[in-house]
């Protein structure tokens, strides 16, 4: 049984779902004003940990503004110098009552941004999940002006101006340094385009009953955050006391070319870190010595080469065919000259991960619909450019990455991992995993090759277990990014080349015991 914190940390909701959950709580008898008091009380406690005692509070017309006014009142009583700014003349009733009381306490209230005295930081309660249209005119100008002050801004629930679901900027938006997401993680926190506006994100749990969350989310496929708890459920640990190398999975990597030898080494090092029982690596014949020297434990299969140094065709050892392997990972460094290999692995019946040139060849051949016919699981791991080449008829993933990856999985029947600051993974039934933490240190050549090897190695080990493929892919994505975070902490964001990244993978798993 997972504890409440772990369960809450996995949940992701849309604005609509949050409103429905909230409606159930109110219908069950919780007074709206009491909930606002509780939530804003928790925010005020958190704000008091921030340095500074002169605070400007931005008040919107809805309950986000109400939250801000309760925070203003609490800070006022705790001795802070508090100033209110609100350009709105019409406020929701509860918000209006809080404003009236704040004014009765002598808290100054201004209609123009310029009237706000110099403050240490700002609290943004202009709009929460009720923002439904573009911000225009005076309010847009005010937000732009406030952003130019370059003061710390603490946003309540979401930075005002951000679409709660897609993370799009609706006209303009507050650039928060810190955002307190209320109750449950909203989808915008997991959309790349919103991240620059959100700053440091923190969930304020205000005891939403899990029964209400379950009732609203129902049995439909969910969007979930990957957490250490979900990762622990899928890792092949502990191993059974009695086992042997083939029981712990046999992965075949097909990668590399004379031009891109390093891609093969990095993919293999990612696979090695997965702990896979047996690793075979098919490369062009001329790469064999390099691979042997880096991975003495692996079986290196030298294959005939094209004139350009790509694998011309697979030449597996005698009595071996593709069905012999628990999983196959194919693509890094292949070049487009290895096209026949992709045709061959797609028609095989092993679990298959396709990345890099594997995806480019797939796009070139236009074989996405044929993936639907595969009996075994397929995993595609595109970055945005590869994604657009593979799925040209899906709307630009930049507008809504989560929707795009969901559509791609339905179209292909594959598990699709869309790389990004918040990597998203979808299966063809509509379930989504999103990796909530990463580092820009990973935006570097070769880091994707490491991920491909890691996914392949975990898939091979899970081949006989009943773990959903998307859960395994999610675990690999989390593991990979945590290694990047760990490496960046020690070596800065500039010090995480792909080889170094592979050296941090094991540390992540040994640290998991402490989480
Ligand atoms: N989730 C919970 O259980 C709780 C949420 N709280 C807070 O309440 C807000 C949501 O409040 P709501 O009143 O529904 O919406 P907003 O405050 O975001 O504002 C809606 C308000 O703004 C008007 N509006 C919408 N778009 C625009 C626009 N572009 N320009 C001008 N005006 C606009 C709209 O008509 C409404 O009047 C949530 O985020 C939390 O902060 C509770 O306090 C605690 C429980
Ligand atoms: K806000």
128 within ligand 1 shell (Cβ under 6 A): yes
Ligand nearest, relative to CA of residue 41: 1
Ligand nearest, relative to CA of residue 135: 1
Return d(Cα 52, Cα 47) in angstroms, integer.
10
Strand stretches in 160-298, DSSP E: 178-182, 185-186, 200-204, 223-225, 250-254, 278-284
Most informative mutation of 46, 131, 156 for ligand 1 (most atoms within 8 A of CB): 131
Strand stretches in 419-461, DSSP E: 424-426, 432-434
Q: Find out whether 469 and 415 touch, Cβ atoms under 8 Å.
A: yes
451 within ligand 1 shell (Cβ under 6 A): no
Return d(Cα 320, Cα 241) in angstroms, integer.
28
- Residue 19 CA: nearest ligand 1 atom is 1
What is the reported pLDDT for 514?
63
- Tell me how far the alpha carbon of residue 126 lies from the centroid of ligand 2, in angstroms: 5
Q: Whose CA is closest to atom 41 on ligand 1?
A: 64
Q: Whose CA is closest to atom 25 on ligand 1?
A: 131
Q: Is 189 exposed, middle or buried (0-12, 13-18, 19+ CB in 10 A)?
A: buried
Cβ within 8 Å of residue 200, ≥6 positions away: 177, 178, 179
- Tell me how far the alpha carbon of residue 131 lies from the centroid of ligand 1, in angstroms: 6
Among 361, 343, 165, 333, CA closest to 257: 333
63 within ligand 1 shell (Cβ under 6 A): yes
124 within ligand 1 shell (Cβ under 6 A): no
Longest Cα pair distance anywhere in the chain, in angstroms? 88
Looking at residue 172, what DSSP letter applies? -
Whether the predicted interface score ipTM is above 0.90: yes
- Tell me how far the alpha carbon of residue 132 lies from the centroid of ligand 1, in angstroms: 9
- Tell me how far the alpha carbon of residue 151 lies from the centroid of ligand 1, in angstroms: 24
- Residue 92 CA: nearest ligand 1 atom is 37
421 within ligand 1 shell (Cβ under 6 A): no
458 within ligand 1 shell (Cβ under 6 A): no
190 within ligand 1 shell (Cβ under 6 A): no
Most informative mutation of 97, 128, 140, 208 for ligand 1 (most atoms within 8 A of CB): 128
Q: Whose CA is closest to atom 26 on ligand 1?
A: 131
Among 136, 131, 179, 132, CA closest to 158: 179
Q: Whose CA is closest to atom 44 on ligand 1?
A: 36
Q: Find out whether 380 and 368 touch, Cβ atoms under 8 Å.
A: no
Q: Whose CA is closest to atom 11 on ligand 1?
A: 63
Q: Whose CA is closest to atom 2 on ligand 1?
A: 22
67 within ligand 1 shell (Cβ under 6 A): yes
What is the reported pLDDT for 2?
66
Q: Whose CA is closest to atom 3 on ligand 1?
A: 22
Ligand nearest, relative to CA of residue 61: 1
Where on the phi/psi map is residue 265: left (φ > 0), alpha (ψ -120 to 50), or beta?
Answer: alpha
- Tell me how far the alpha carbon of residue 135 lies from the centroid of ligand 1, in angstroms: 13
Element of type H or E holding 353? strand 351-354
156 within ligand 1 shell (Cβ under 6 A): yes
- Residue 170 CA: nearest ligand 1 atom is 29
Q: Could you give the C-alpha distances from 319 to 246, 283, 315, 399, 463, in angstroms and in order?
A: 16, 19, 11, 49, 21
61 within ligand 1 shell (Cβ under 6 A): yes
Ligand nearest, relative to CA of residue 142: 1
87 within ligand 1 shell (Cβ under 6 A): no
pTM of the model: 0.96
- Tell me how far the alpha carbon of residue 163 lies from the centroid of ligand 2, in angstroms: 11
- Below-70 pLDDT ranges, the chain: 1-2, 514-515
62 within ligand 1 shell (Cβ under 6 A): yes
Most informative mutation of 127, 136, 140 for ligand 1 (most atoms within 8 A of CB): 127
- Tell me how far the alpha carbon of residue 196 lies from the centroid of ligand 2, in angstroms: 15
């Amino acid at each position: 049984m997972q504890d409440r914190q772990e369960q809450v940390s996995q949940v992701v909701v849309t604005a609509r779902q949050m409103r429905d959950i909230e409606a159930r709580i109110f219908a069950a008898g919780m007074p709206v004003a009491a909930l606002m008091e509780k939530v804003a009380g928790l925010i005020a406690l958190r704000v008091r940990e921030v340095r500074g005692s002169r605070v400007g509070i931005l008040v919107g017309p809805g309950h986000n503004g109400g939250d801000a006014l309760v925070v203003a009142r609490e800070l006022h009583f705790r001795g802070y110098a508090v100033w209110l700014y609100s350009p709105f003349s019409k406020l929701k009733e509860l918000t209006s009552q809080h404003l009236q009381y704040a004014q009765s306490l002598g808290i100054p209230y201004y209609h123009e941004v310029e009237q706000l005295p110099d403050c240490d930081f700002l609290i943004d309660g202009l709009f929460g999940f009720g923002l439904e249209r573009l911000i225009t005119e005076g309010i847009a100008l005010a937000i732009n002006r406030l952003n130019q002050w370059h003061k710390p801004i603490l946003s309540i629930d979401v930075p005002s101006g951000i679409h709660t679901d897609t993370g799009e900027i609706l006209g303009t938006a507050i650039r928060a340094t810190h955002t307190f997401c209320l109750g449950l993680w909203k989808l915008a926190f997991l959309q790349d385009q919103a991240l620059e506006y959100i700053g440091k994100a923190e969930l304020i749990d205000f005891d939403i009953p899990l029964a209400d969350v379950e009732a609203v989310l129902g049995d439909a496929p969910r969007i979930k955050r990957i957490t250490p708890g979900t990762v622990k459920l899928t890792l092949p640990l502990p191993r059974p006391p009695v086992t042997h190398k083939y029981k712990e999975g046999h992965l075949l990597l097909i990668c590399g070319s004379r031009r891109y030898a390093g891609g093969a080494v990095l993919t293999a090092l990612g696979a090695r870190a997965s702990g896979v029982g047996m690793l075979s690596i098919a490369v062009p014949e001329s790469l064999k010595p390099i691979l042997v020297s880096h991975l003495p434990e692996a079986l290196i299969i030298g294959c005939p080469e094209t004139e350009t140094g790509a694998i011309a065709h697979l030449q597996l050892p005698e009595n071996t065919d593709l069905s012999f392997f628990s999983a196959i990972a194919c693509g890094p460094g292949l070049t487009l000259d290895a096209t026949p290999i992709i045709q061959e692995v797609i028609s095989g019946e092993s679990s298959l991960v396709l990345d890099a040139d594997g995806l480019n060849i797939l796009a070139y051949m236009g074989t996405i619909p044929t993936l639907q016919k595969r009996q075994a699981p397929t995993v595609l791991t595109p970055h945005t450019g590869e994604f657009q080449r593979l799925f040209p008829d899906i709307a630009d993933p930049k507008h809504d990455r989560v929707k795009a990856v969901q559509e791609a999985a339905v179209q292909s029947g594959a598990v699709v991992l869309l790389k990004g600051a918040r990597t998203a993974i979808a299966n063809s039934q509509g379930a989504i995993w999103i990796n909530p933490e990463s580092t820009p240190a990973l935006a570097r050549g070769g880091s994707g090759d490491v991920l491909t090897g890691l996914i392949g190695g975990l898939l091979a080990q899970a081949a006989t277990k009943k773990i959903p493929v998307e859960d395994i892919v999610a675990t690999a994505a989390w593991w990979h990014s945590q290694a990047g975070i760990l490496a960046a902490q020690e070596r800065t964001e500039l010090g995480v080349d792909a080889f170094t990244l592979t050296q941090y993978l094991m540390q992540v798993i040994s640290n998991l015991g402490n989480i």
